[in-house]
Amino acid sequence: MKNNSAISGNKSAGFAHMPAKPGQIFYRIPYLFLQKAKDRVQDAWESVAPVIDTLKKEAKTQSINDVESASFTCDDGSSVEISTTVSDLWIKTEAADLTPPSPIQQIDTLIKGLTKPAYKYVCDKSRVLAFPLISGSWGNTIKGFIGLDAGSISINIAFVDEAGVVFETDYTLTEGDIINNIKKAFNRLSQKLPANIDILGSGVTGSGHEISAALLGADVYETELDAHAEATLHLLPDTQVIFDIGGQDSKVMYIEDGELEEAGMNKKCGAGTGSFLDAQADRLGIPIEKFGETGLKAKKPYSFSSMCTVFVGRDLIAEQAKGNTKENIIAGLHRSLAMNFYSTLGINKKHLKTPIAFQGGVASNIGVIKSMEDLLFEARGERVELFIPMHHKVMGSIGMALFARDEVEERGTFRGIETIQQITSNFTECTRANELGCNKGMLCDLVHLSRGEDVVQTLYACEAYENTPEGGAEETLTTKVGG
């Protein structure tokens, strides 16, 4: 691994889809970018059909559960398990004997014959290494790009490799401490990544893009709308309209000829965002993760008289006092959120082009999905299915990794994860007003990013400050750290 992408302390323990000891080999088959989740899974299983056919012949015992899981034990003691996640099919093998013609060796040969991306994971002492399938053989290094979306609610990171596979992601709450939680997010990401990755560049977006760009030494910045659209069109290329509902804002994006043509964003009203549901979940004492399935059990969804968060809360308390069920109330909340989304963004439901992608954290809620689709049906007189992209919670970071992949021609200035962990910040007021001839009544707030005794970069400084020798020295340092 190169210095500017070094990750230390990568351990395999605790990861269900990484080898934990020598002798175990894992194969990873990423799903194709198909619209429906069931089609992605089905395609992956069909691609490894030769592997399954071979194991059926070799196995002493076997158990196959449709397209969910399978396990085999061979006569020589080798074992194979196949399972799926939201984005990949995994084959876990453990060989008792690797002398030819071991069933495990046959599996390796069959997977090398695939015409789609695949990866082989092995355990080397305390490190996990992963090798990409390149023209029928295993390459040495996973090369890719980092994308970071630093928002007011969450910090999302994605590592996307050169083939465009979303290799790993992380979702961390911002909690009012952007720098330390970026560090936390990178620490968690590093524990998921194999040791032999090579990070070639990075991109940032979100409200905290300026400080995160300085922290990473980022190569590319794009707006949130551009980043989200880029990710969607990568994962679901035929998309015509994108609905995005996050924790604090909601967006609609219209695609024309494969590019973002027009967009709208709602930042003023929280009733059409995830924070609206979070607040009501607290009131009802039900985990937000169970809101969707709970709402689907409603016999008569309650119709709220207002879409305003304040008045919805009032009505909710009144309905609870009447004895109305939580299922009915939650289903009503989902419909209220969907109505607010369409209304505040001025969406003409009748004239929307399809396919429509739905993403953001709220897209995890099957109750909201149903309400969004119900309102489309009522307006159009026909059913319209909303397609949920893989990794729908971290689309901004995926988009920025893709922008970095497309725009960084030579190795970028990414500092390296170890270096990022060493950087500290100091929020202070400028003390050089007299020297610079500034208005003393309007002193600037500055953020110094330092690595040990060296100031790496100073943020939010005025042009006069940056043009001083000290300011220029800091700017020079910025391009050298981790290079």
Say how far apart CA 172 and CA 208 lie, in whole Å.
14
The answer on 228 and 241 residing in a single domain is no
Question: Distance of CA 225 to CAs 137, 229, 254, 342, Å?
Answer: 38, 6, 11, 18
Mean residue pLDDT of the chain comes to 85
Residue 176 has pLDDT above 80, yes or no: yes
Tokens, residue 86: 């939201």
The rounded percent of the chain whose pLDDT value lies above 70 is 87
Q: What is the pLDDT of residue 75?
A: 83
Residue type, 285: G
The single residue listed with the structure tokens 């799903």 is 31
Tokens, residue 274: 């995830």
**Bond prior to 117 in cis (omega within 30° of 0):** no
Q: What is the pLDDT of residue 113?
A: 95
Q: What is the pLDDT of residue 49?
A: 94
CATH number reported for the structural domain that contains residue 63 in this entry: 3.30.310.180
Q: Give the pLDDT mean for 71-87.
A: 90
Say how far apart CA 241 and CA 250 lie, in whole Å.
14
The answer on 98 and 174 residing in a single domain is no
Residue 473 has pLDDT above 70, yes or no: no
In tens, the pLDDT along 192-226 reads: 999 999 999 999 999 889 889 988 999 999 999 99
Q: Give the pLDDT mean for 41-62.
A: 92
What's the structural domain count of the chain? 4
Residue 266 main-chain phi, psi, to 5 deg: -110, 115
Structural domain contains residue 14: no
Residue 17 has pLDDT above 80, yes or no: no
Question: Distance of CA 383 to CAs 110, 241, 309, 354, 372, Å?
Answer: 41, 16, 29, 11, 11
The answer on 249 and 162 residing in a single domain is no
Residue 15 has pLDDT above 50, yes or no: no
Q: CB under 8 Å to 403, separation ≥6 — which residues? A: 147, 203, 220, 222, 226, 227, 230
104's enclosing H/E stretch is helix 103-112
Q: What is the DSSP letter of 156?
A: E
SS3 44: helix
Say how far apart CA 437 and CA 456 lie, in whole Å.
25
Residue 440 has pLDDT above 80, yes or no: no
The answer on 381 and 244 residing in a single domain is yes
Cβ proximity of 231 and 399 under 8 Å: yes
In tens, the pLDDT along 131-162 reads: 999 999 999 999 999 999 998 888 999 999 99
Domain that holds residue 210: 142-234+396-407
Cβ proximity of 169 and 398 under 8 Å: yes
Q: What is the pLDDT of residue 424?
A: 82
CATH number reported for the structural domain that contains residue 278 in this entry: 3.30.420.40
Q: Give the pLDDT mean for 335-339.
A: 90
The answer on 461 and 364 residing in a single domain is no
Strand pairing of 220-221 and 259-266?
unpaired
In tens, the pLDDT along 224-282 reads: 999 999 999 999 999 999 999 987 789 999 999 999 999 998 866 655 677 778 878 88
R_g of the chain computed on alpha carbons: 25
Q: Which residues pair with 156 in a beta bridge?
A: 149, 171
* Residue spans of beta strands (DSSP E) within 272-387: 356-359, 386-387
Residue 309 has pLDDT above 70, yes or no: no
Say how far apart CA 111 and CA 54 lie, in whole Å.
12
The answer on 241 and 221 residing in a single domain is no
Structural domain contains residue 18: no
Last residue of a domain, one of 96, 124, 152: 124
The single residue listed with the structure tokens 């029928």 is 136
Structural domain contains residue 6: no
Q: What is the DSSP letter of 155?
A: E
Q: What is the DSSP letter of 389?
A: P
